[in-house]
Amino acid sequence: MSRLVVVSNRIAAMEGKKESAGGLAVGIMDSLKDAGGLWFGWNGNISEEELPLEHHQQDNISFAAFSLKQSEYDQYYLNFSNTVIWPAFHYRLDLVQYQREDYDGYCHVNEKLARRLKPLVKKDDILWIHDYHLLPFAAACRKLGMTNRIGFFLHIPFPTSEIFNALPPRKELLEMLCEYDLIGFQAETDRLAFIENLSLVTDVEELGEDQFSAYGKFVTVRVYPIGVEPDSIRELAEGRLPPKLAHLRDKLNGQLIISVDRLDYSKGLPERFQAYETLLENYPQHRGNIRYFQIAPTSRGDVQAYQDIRHELEMEAGRINGHFSTLEWTPLFYLNQHYERSLLMKIFRHCDVGLVTPLRDGMNLVAKEYVASQNPADPGVLILSRFAGAANELTSALLVNPYDRDGVASALDKALRMPQAERIERYKAMMDVITKNDIVHWRKSFLNDLKAVPHQLEPGQQP
C-alpha cells in the first residue's frame, strides 16, 4: 500500500498536543494516520551548521524536520515567500519587495529540501505538498528523477493576471506548478485565475473539464474548500468557561462582538476598527451596551509590514477608546496575544456577533469555527467579508464589503438586533455546509483524486 508523505513549511509539533492543535494540523495528522506516512517540514530553528534531519515517530507516523541557515530563512521564508508571494497573492502589490537573489534562494531551498526528502521516499509513496512556500517543490523532485504522484494545495488565493503579471518570475513559477499531478485551490475564482495566467504564458490544451496539458505535462486543477472539525469544536465550545472569564461574562451586561485573526494586513483589521467606530457614531443607541473584542496574536513579527500594521492598530484602538470610553464602559478590547484553542471556541460561543472581514482570504477558518461553536438554540450572527473564500459557502452569513465602513456598521447594527428565529435559520443553513464540507471531506476528496488523476510519469500515459 502506498504511504502518504506530507511536506509543508512548518511541521506541527503535535506530541501530546492534539487538543490545542488547529483543525488543519489535526486533519493532516489524521490523513497520515490513515495511510501511514511521513511529515517533512521545518522545525522552526535556524542554524549555520548543516544539521542532520530531526526524526521522531508517533504511532505509524514519522516526522523528519530540517533547520534553515539564516540566509535561507531570509531569502526563502522572509523575503520571497512573505514579502513577495504573500502580499502579491493577497492583492497588495504595494507591499511587494522583489529581489532576484531572494527568488534564487527560494528555488535553491526548494531544491535542497527535495534532495533531503528523496532518500526517505519510497517508489509508491504519494506526496502532498502544502502552500506558497513550496510552489517549485514538484519541479525540484522531478529534476531528481522522482516519479511519485505529487499533489499541491494552495491555502491562499491565486491572483488574476493583472496582479500575477507583476511578478518577474511568473512564467517560471507557472511552469514549475505544472509539474504537479493535481493542484487544489480554495475557490473557483482561484482555479480560474490560475488557468487564465497559464494560458497567457503557454499553450494550454483542455483535456477535460479540469484537466489540462501544458509544457508537455498533464495537470488536473480542482477546488477543495478547506473545512473544520465541527464535532470537536462544539465539544470544546460547550465546556465550562474558566472561572475568571465566567465572572467577567456575568459582569458584562450587553452584547459582545468577537474577531480572531493572526495580526496580518490581509485581515482588514484597521478597516474593521473604523467600521466599529462608525457603528458607535451612527447608531449611538449601542453605546454603553456593546463591547468588541479583537484577539490578534502577533504573526511574522520580523517582517516590516507586520510591525507597521501592529503600530497602526495600537493607535486606532487607543483613538477609538479615547473618543468613546466612559468611566463605566470601554468599547474596544484589543488583545495582542495568543490564546488556547479550547478557550477561543468557548469565547466564540459566548459572543453575539462574529466579525470576520478580511480584505482577501483563501478561505478563513475562523468564520467556520465561530459558527460551529454556537449554541444551536440561541446562536450568534456571523458577519463575513465577501472577499474570503468562506463566503462562497457561508451565504447565510451577513456578507459585507470590508472596505465599506458604513456597510459593515449597518451589518453590525442588523446583527445586534436580529431576532432569534432568523439567527437560528441562518445558523442551520451554515451548519449544513460546514458539516458536509468538513476537514475530513476536504482531505479525503483531495487524496482520492490524487490517486486517480492521470499521472504523466506512468507508462503509457502521454499528454
384 phi/psi in degrees, rounded to 5: -135, 135
Cell digits of residue 351: 459572543
Q: Which is nearer to ligand GDG, 57 or 337 (CB)?
A: 337
CB of 342 to ligand GDG, least distance (A): 8
Q: Of 369, 340, 379, nearest to 439 (Cα)?
A: 369
Interface segment toward ligand GDG; rule CB under 6 A; list 16-24, 192-200, 370-378, 452-460: 16-24
Instruction: Based on DSSP, count helices (H) and strands (E) in the chain, helices before strands.
Output: 17, 16
Cell 457614531 sits on residue: 281
Q: Which is nearer to ligand GDG, 44 or 254 (CB)?
A: 44
Cell digits of residue 92: 497588495
CB of 370 to ligand GDG, least distance (A): 9
CB of 416 to ligand GDG, least distance (A): 23
CB of 362 to ligand GDG, least distance (A): 3
Please indicate whether residue 104 is annotated as part of the active site.
Answer: no
* 318-377 positions binding ligand GDG, by CB under 6 A: 338-341, 344, 361-366, 369
Does residue 24 belong to the site contacting ligand GDG (CB under 6 A)? Answer: yes
The answer to whether 386 touches 392, Cβ cutoff 8 Å, is: no
Does residue 6 belong to the site contacting ligand GDG (CB under 6 A)? Answer: no
Does residue 226 belong to the site contacting ligand GDG (CB under 6 A)? Answer: yes
Distances (CA, A) of 27 to 15, 32, 33, 228, 440: 15, 9, 10, 9, 7
Does residue 4 belong to the site contacting ligand GDG (CB under 6 A)? Answer: no
d(CA 343, CA 3): 35
Q: Which is nearer to ligand GDG, 66 or 224 (CB)?
A: 224
* 169-208 positions binding ligand GDG, by CB under 6 A: none
Does residue 17 belong to the site contacting ligand GDG (CB under 6 A)? Answer: no
Cell digits of residue 364: 478563513
Cell digits of residue 409: 456598521
CB of 308 to ligand GDG, least distance (A): 18
Q: Which is nearer to ligand GDG, 344 or 351 (CB)?
A: 344
d(CA 371, CA 426): 10
The catalytically annotated residue of 90, 155, 286, 350 is 155
Among 133, 149, 155, 350, which residue interacts with ligand GDG (rule: CB under 6 A)? 155
Q: Which residues pair with 57 in a beta bridge?
A: 62
Cell digits of residue 33: 494516520
The amino acid at residue 186 is Q
Handedness of CA 342, 442, 177, 96 (dihedral sign): negative
Residue ranges in contact with ligand GDG by CB under 6 A: 22-24, 155-156, 226, 260, 262, 295, 297, 338-341, 344, 361-366, 369
Catalytic positions, written as ranges: 155, 361
